[in-house]
Amino acid sequence: MAKIKKIGILTSGGDAPGMNAAIRGVTRTAIFNGMQVVGIRHGYHGMIFGHFTRLKAHSVSDILARGGTILKTARSKEFMTAEGRKQAYDNLKKEGIDAVVVIGGDGSLTGARVFCDEYYDIPFIGIPGTIDNDIFGTDYTIGYDTAQNTVVDAVDKIRDTASSHNRLFFIEVMGRDAGFIALKTGIACGAEAILIPEVEGQVEGLKDYLEKGYKRKKSSNIIIVAEGEKSGGAFAIAEQVKEEFEEYSVRVSILGHIQRGGKPSAYDRVSASTLGYEAVQALLDDQKSVMVGFHNGEVDLVPFRKVIKLKKSVDPQQLEMADVLSI
Ligand code: ATP
């Protein structure tokens, strides 16, 4: 492959704390290796409409500790069309960009794969960036650690009220169709039950549990519900419980977008910096159409085709453990 002289970098899909650390990692590693760096603002939308900005080493000063993404992020309908991708390709060529690093979730990596299947001469490397941790082929995604800490902090506070008033709280957390955030934070907060999209029929089990819990006079109950949970979400389940268990004082709390923001944790800063650095190393090693992730603590390259085709699953043993620990 011809020597790469200019790298484009973008963030796409939902923002996640630590994306800036990855942008910094890519930018400085590329400059260190004699390349120029172009920030593509607003994700694929900016690629189509030419939102390019030159990044120097100092352009990424003081961003390591900031949440969100300095390049902005977006979802682009146009990139889903062949015409949109052609316009993006023409723009990259015009700008002299000969490789691209995409930081985003599974949708963004799918977009990268579709693009690379159509245009072979611009290698793409992916970095998993989403708080949801729902990307196959990597144990870690940027922002997941910070989001978990945010949830734990919020649930601990709600627990104070729940136990002071003997209340039953349903707390809905993010994760789209995946239950990773719910499961881990449920364990971390000692939730009495964790409802996730990956497991069916949990509401009946919850009702059994509540029956017994009330008999034992538990002073408070925290139920963590993943937003993609299949029986209608926290409000719908709370309504059912209210109807069947009048003795419980039920409340619902939807944590919402606070889970996306905030300063990245030390773990996210280090991991995202590492992925940024490794993405450029992968390009220097002539890699293309791969995602840089972590497997068992080691950096790993996974082809886009696998990342997109396969679904990451939650660990059923952890759910079992959470049940045992909540008796
Ligand atoms: P998050 O998990 O945080 O929501 P994501 O990357 O999965 O992030 P999406 O909205 O699914 O977010 O995808 C981001 C963008 O990737 C889309 O707006 C679109 O531009 C592009 N994209 C997704 N799927 C495809 C596809 N099949 N073909 C082309 N582009 C795609």
**Strand 52-55 relative to strand 221-226, pairing:** unpaired
Catalytically annotated residue among 132, 134, 145, 268: 132
pLDDT of residue 1: 60
Instruction: Please state the φ and ψ torsions of residue 99, each to the nearest 5 degrees.
Output: -165, 155
Q: For 238-283, write each residue's pLDDT tens digit.
A: 999 999 998 899 999 999 999 999 999 999 999 999 999 999 999 9
Q: For the chain, give the mean pLDDT.
A: 95
Amino acid in the structure at residue 134: D
Q: Mutation test of ligand 1: which of 73, 79, 102 has the most ligand atoms closer than 8 Å to its C-beta?
A: 79
Q: What is the pTM of this model?
A: 0.96
Q: Centre a 10 Å sphere on the Cβ of residue 59 and count the other Cβ atoms it contains.
A: 17
Say how many Å lie between the first and final Cα of the chain, rounded: 59
Q: Report which protein residue has its CA nearest ligand 1's atom 13.
A: 107
Identify each DSSP E strand in the chain by its residue range. Answer: 6-11, 36-40, 52-55, 99-104, 124-128, 167-173, 193-195, 221-226, 249-254, 290-295, 298-303
Question: Is 8 within 8 Å of 95 (Cβ atoms)?
Answer: yes
14 touches ligand 1 (CB under 6 Å)? yes
130 touches ligand 1 (CB under 6 Å)? yes
Q: What is the mean pLDDT of residues 286-299?
A: 97
Which pLDDT band, with edges at 50, 70 and 90, does 7 fall under? very high
Q: Mutation test of ligand 1: which of 45, 73, 75 has the most ligand atoms closer than 8 Å to its C-beta?
A: 75
pLDDT of residue 213: 78
Q: Ligand 1: distance of its center to the CA of 12 in Å?
A: 7
Q: Ligand 1: distance of its center to the CA of 107 in Å?
A: 3
The two three-digit tokens of residue 162, written as one number: 């729940």
Domains of the chain with CATH codes:
6-143+264-309 (3.40.50.450), 144-260 (3.40.50.460)
Q: Ligand 1: distance of its center to the CA of 81 in Å?
A: 12
Of the ranges 22-36, 133-147, 183-197, 207-221, which one carries the lowest mean pLDDT score? Answer: 207-221
Nearest Cα to Cα of residue 252 among 220, 217, 223? 223
Q: For 147-175, write each residue's pLDDT tens digit.
A: 999 999 999 999 999 999 889 999 999 99
Q: For 211-225, write each residue's pLDDT tens digit.
A: 887 777 777 899 999
Question: Is 56 within 8 Å of 20 (Cβ atoms)?
Answer: no
Q: Ligand 1: distance of its center to the CA of 112 in Å?
A: 9
79 touches ligand 1 (CB under 6 Å)? yes
Q: How far is CA 162 from the centre of its chain?
A: 29
Q: Ligand 1: distance of its center to the CA of 43 in Å?
A: 10
180 touches ligand 1 (CB under 6 Å)? no
C-alpha dist (Å) from residue 251 to 158, 220, 254, 292: 10, 11, 10, 41
